A = this chain, B = another copy of it.
Amino acid sequence: MHVHEFQEMMRRIYFHRDSERGTTGTYNWLAEEVEELGVALKEQDRKPMMNEFADVLAWLTSLANVVGIDLEDAAISKYNDMCPKCHKSSCECPLPKNH
C-alpha cells in the first residue's frame, strides 16, 4: 500500500475526529504513541511492537491530514534514493547522527 493510500484510509476512518481534535491534540496523541512504542521495544514482544509501529504511522498520517500535508510527497521530496545530507546512496555522514 502506498504511503498516500494509507494516509487516505486514515482520512476516511478518522478525519471527522482528527479535524475536530486539531493539530495540538493530534500531535499529543502521536507523542504518546511514540512513548508506547518505546515501552514495547523494551519488552521485546513482537506483537505489541507491531501494534505500536502501526499506531505511530496511523497518528503521523492523521496529523498530516489535519495540517494538509501529503506524507508520501514530503518523504520522497527529502529522501530520494540518497541521504539528503551527504548525497550518497549509502550514507557516509559523520556520526553520531545521520539522516
Contacts and interface: CB of A to CB of B under 8 A. Distances in A.
Give this chain's copy count.
Answer: 2
Interface in A52-86: 53-60, 62-64, 67, 69, 71-79, 81-83
A38 to B, nearest CB: 6
Give the size range of A's interface with the partner. Answer: 35 or more
User: How would you classify the secondary structure of chain A's contact residues: helix, strand, loop or mixed?
Assistant: helix
B62 A99 contact: yes
Interface string A1-17: 11100100110111011
B78 A3 contact: no
A78 B60 contact: no
B57 A91 contact: no
